Amino acid sequence: MGTFVNTGTVILGSCMGLLLNRLIPERVSRAVMAGLALCVLFLGISGTLSGKNPLITIISMVVGAVAGELLDLDGRLGRFAERLEKRFKKASAKSSIAEGFVTASLVFCVGSMTIVGALNSGLLGDNSMLYAKSLLDLVSAFIFASSLGFGVLLSAGFVLLFQGGIALFARLISPLLTTAVISEMTCVGSLLIIAIGLNMLEVTKLKVMNYLPAIFVPIIIGLFVK
């Protein structure tokens, strides 16, 4: 139930943001986008402080980058987004669907609140943390969608699959998601959020989607390192 509520708040906030998106002048939209990029950088930098083992972060990024490039995740997402953009041109006029989807998905799903909340939901039936997260994501989805467009709405699907998957298989995967592993996953994911912020400021043009597998590498490392 916590995941369904969270997904619903992301959808609601995104729809409200898309309505506002149509009313914001281009000049104001660019200024808001720059401010939002700085906030994304702040979220990313804050999250990296949870990491305790730099070696795990390095290995995760390298392995994740290799896997992402071989699978061409960025290219696949780009082609999918292009098809959607042809259909929803007006909704995504100020930003690409891919950018909005990746940015929102990482911000909504990276962090201990997501993983611990989903585990509590699946193991204990305690949705309180996910309900609190839902309120935060409602506001975030509204702000992101008003600047990044339709892709933020699509991130609701990622929230449902990622967060719901953890809750559904909580009994199976909870031994793998120790406190140390969650901290390292948060650290790696936060590095990707920093990359998104730099892309939004047009400082870099990193294919962030190709680094996404890096988030899950700490789980594998955790099987061998106690």
The tokens of 210 are what? 């190709």
User: Comparing 87 with 207, which gets the higher pLDDT?
Assistant: 207
**What is the signed CA dihedral for 87, 89, 92, 93, rounded to 10 degrees?**
170
**pLDDT band at residue 187, thresholds of 50, 70 and 90?**
very high
- Say which DSSP state 95 is in: S
Query: What average pLDDT does this structure show over 158-178?
Result: 90
Query: What average pLDDT does this structure show over 130-154?
Result: 89
Q: Does position 91 have pLDDT exceeding 70, yes or no?
A: no
Average pLDDT of the chain? 87
Query: What average pLDDT does this structure show over 188-206?
Result: 89
Q: How far apart are the first and last CA of the chain?
A: 33
φ/ψ (deg, to 5) at 154:
-65, -25
User: Tell me: the pLDDT tens digits for 40-79?
Assistant: 899 889 889 888 899 999 999 999 999 999 998 888 888 8
- Rounded-to-integer distance, Cα 184 and Cα 81, Å: 30
User: Tell me: the pLDDT tens digits for 3-48?
Assistant: 999 999 999 999 998 888 777 777 777 788 888 889 889 988 988 9
Query: What average pLDDT does this structure show over 128-139?
Result: 91
CB-based contact 91:150 (threshold 8 Å)? yes
- Rounded-to-integer distance, Cα 40 and Cα 27, Å: 20
- The whole-number pLDDT of residue 25 equals 77
For helices 179-200 and 217-224, the axis angle rounded to 10 degrees is 150
Query: What average pLDDT does this structure show over 204-210?
Result: 87
CB-based contact 67:209 (threshold 8 Å)? no
Q: Does position 165 have pLDDT exceeding 90, yes or no?
A: yes
Query: What average pLDDT does this structure show over 182-188?
Result: 92
